[in-house]
Structure 1
Amino acid sequence: MCRLLGVVSREPISLDRAVRDEIEPFTEQSEIHRDGWGVAWFDAADGKAAADEAAAGGDDAAAGTPRPAGEHRPVDPRRPRIHRHLDVARESAAYRDAVAEATGPMMLVHLRKASPGLPLRIDNTHPFREGEAVFAHNGQYDLSDPLREAILARGGRTPEGTTDSELYFSLVELHVRETDPATAVQRAAAELTQLCLEHAGRVPEALNCLYMTPDVMIAYQQSDPAQAKPHHTADNYSLRYRIDADRVIVASSGIPQADHLDVGEGQALVINRGDLSVSVRPALDCEVR
């Protein structure tokens, strides 16, 4: 179980200002979700990203292999910026720096609570990236070696770590080659559900996720209440969103959510960066057996 927070703003704005009423209660949840954190954003008004992470901070520094001071990779105009670390967000100076640094029309934050048996490594820390796409997951499913092999055999993105979440992302990236991002997420979830039934005998506990590109943010909700743990609250896997004049916010439970709407089971919320328009894709018309 993890926590998700995404925001799309009409104009570029710092993350701590864009979600100033939500960021502290969200961060407080890292007292439980304490297995690392990640912040990702596209920080220019036209969707262009700045230079890749500098030597201080970001993935490379967290992994222990910082680049020499002043050295930058060539700028990719649609490359997301990502900072990921393994410490507890509420106790982390790096997290506070990342939240203050993140500035853009499109931003997301992930707090990780690792699935049992999965190691705490930087390459297991969300969000994950492939080209211009960013992905973060809240949930889990029964991951066996045969299921892993079945997913990898489909030919999607090659995972860098060992999480079930990255394999889910692999299926999303496979489907996004043939369709729009919202449909790709829904199809990947449906395929993964079917594979879980075949290899584990039950559906995933949850496949909630945020998928972000320079142009769109997708929020998807799917969960099985029968697999809820005793310590889970009734809204543990809820995803809710709110449309304001200058922003759209979508988040897991645990923060103030007055006047928020629920993303329904199997639905995909689509937030377009260009005009801040919002639509809800209905659940796919398919039966999982």
Structure 2
Amino acid sequence: MCRLFGYVTKSPCAVADLLGEEGLHAFTSLTTVHSDGWGMAWHTPEGTRTESSPRSADLDESYRRLVEVPLSHAGLVHLRWATGGIDVRPENTHPFLSDDAAFAHNGHITPIADLEALLTAESRARLGGDTDSERYFQFVHQSVEQCGDEAEGVSRALAALVKRFPRCSLNALVLTPTHMFAIHINSRADSPLRALRQLFDDEGDIPPRHTTEYFAMDYRETSRGLEVVSSGLGQPGWMPVPADTAVMVDLPPGRSPTWTPSLGSATTRCETAYGRLLSICCTSAARLVRGGARLLRTRW
């Protein structure tokens, strides 16, 4: 279980500049819970780059350095809270990388053996660690390879996982050479209240919204672009991501993505100036094409 931050901007930006001094402090302070490693992924002309460490972000100079650098126009950050029984080591630290796609997860999918059983022998051979998250990623990667299309592959993978693991959180960020996916599917997953209480003597010290909305995700649009973050910042200006949705933003080469209207309207209307905004919703069964954007809804 973890914290996520992702962004797609018009030009390369540093995480510190996007979140601001107070926002970066609030995000990094979530290591009071999520102290089992950190990782980042970002686009470069040569492909998707990642850096990670099993050290706590607030103690790691590499984290402090990277968040201050304008690495890319699209990237993600992950703070890890290791699921009980899974080791804190480099191989288990997000984001995971395969074929230029990076993946970071906030949740816990059990039983892990049932999740791994969905993988082909080729997908299992790519595994480097013990986590359910890496197996989730490889299942998505496998589905994309089988479909030959990222939107369709991600949709099919999520549909299968929701059906098989209905009470697990599938919250994730996926960064590919052409898209950013923000997955917010968790409506039947419970906040880890007991585990949180074990970390704090006073429940009032638990980070904001962790006891009631641990798996919530928020977004905001600024003049720079689009940002999405896990709950816990406790700052104004963010809007809730609709429940049980996944959004795909195109990253067209040489052009800056813009969004009209906001992500919050994606379940009813969707337009983009340069790319598609894909919303995968658990509550309807219609496919719509509007304003040059594709809005996909599937019943799971």
TM range (shorter): 0.7 to 0.9
Distance 1:207 1:173 in 2: 15
Who is 1:67 aligned against?
none
Mapping for residues 109-124 of structure 1, pairs under 5 Å? 109-124=77-92
Alignment map for 1:267-278 (pairs within 5 Å): 267-274=245-252, 275-278=256-259
Return the letter of the residue paired with 1:283.
C
| Count of aligned pairs between the two proteins | 248
Separation (CA, whole Å) in 2 of partners of 1:163 and 1:12: 31
Deviations 1:202-260 (A, max 9, x none): x2421100001233211011114453332442221111111112121001011255343
Query: In the alignment, which residue of structure 2 is the partner of 1:56?
Result: none
Q: In the alignment, which residue of structure 1 is the partner of 2:106?
A: 138
Question: Would the alpha carbon gap of residues 42 and 86 (structure 1) be closer, same or farther in structure 2, given more than 3 Å must change?
Answer: same
Unaligned runs of 5+ residues in structure 1 are 49-76, 197-202
Displacement of 1:142 after TM fit?
1.2
Aligned to 2:201: none
Structure 2 residue identity aligned to 1:42: H
Contact 2:109 2:115 in 1 (8 A): no
Give the alignment of 1:128-167 within 5 angstroms: 128-145=96-113, 147-153=114-120, 156=123, 158-167=126-135
Letter in 2 for 1:18: L
Report the secondary structure of 1:118's partner residue: coil
Moved more, 161-170 or 265-274: 265-274
Compute the displacement of 1:135 (Å). 0.5
Please name the residue that 1:10 is paired with: 10
Percent of aligned pairs with the same amino acid: 32
SS at match of 1:100: coil
Alignment partners' CA distance in 2, 1:7 and 1:140 = 23
* Within-5 A mapping of 1:125-274: 125-145=93-113, 147-153=114-120, 156=123, 158-177=126-145, 178=147, 180-196=149-165, 203-225=166-188, 227-230=190-193, 231=196, 232-274=210-252
8 Å Cα contact 2:155/2:280 also seen in 1 = no
Higher RCO (CA-CA < 8 Å; seq separation 6+)? 1
The 1:182/1:208 distance shift into structure 2, 3 A limit, reads farther
2:106–2:170 contact (8 Å) kept in structure 1: yes
CA offsets 1:158-217 (integer angstroms, 9 cap, x no match): 211110001110111112221543443332122123333xxxxxx242110000123321
Q: Residues 126-154 of structure 1, C-alpha deviation per residue, up to 9 Å, x if partnerless? A: 00111211100000121243x14412237
- Distance change in 2, residues 1:179/1:233 (3 Å): farther
| Contact 2:216/2:231 (<8 A) preserved | yes
Query: For residue 283 of structure 1, what is the aligned residue in structure 2?
Result: 281
Q: What amino acid does structure 1 have at the position aligned with 2:245?
A: Q
Partner amino acid for 1:187?
Answer: R
Compared with structure 1, are the counterparts of its residues 101 and 244 closer, same or farther at alpha carbon in structure 2 (3 Å cutoff)?
A: closer
Q: Normalized against structure 2, the TM-score is what?
A: 0.75
User: Which ranges in structure 2 are unaligned for 5 or more consecutive residues?
Assistant: 197-209, 260-276, 286-297
Q: Label 1:180 to 1:277 Cα distance change in 2 as closer, same or farther (>3 A).
A: farther
Does the CA-based 8 Å contact 1:136-1:210 persist in structure 2? yes
Q: CA deviation at 1:80?
A: 1.5
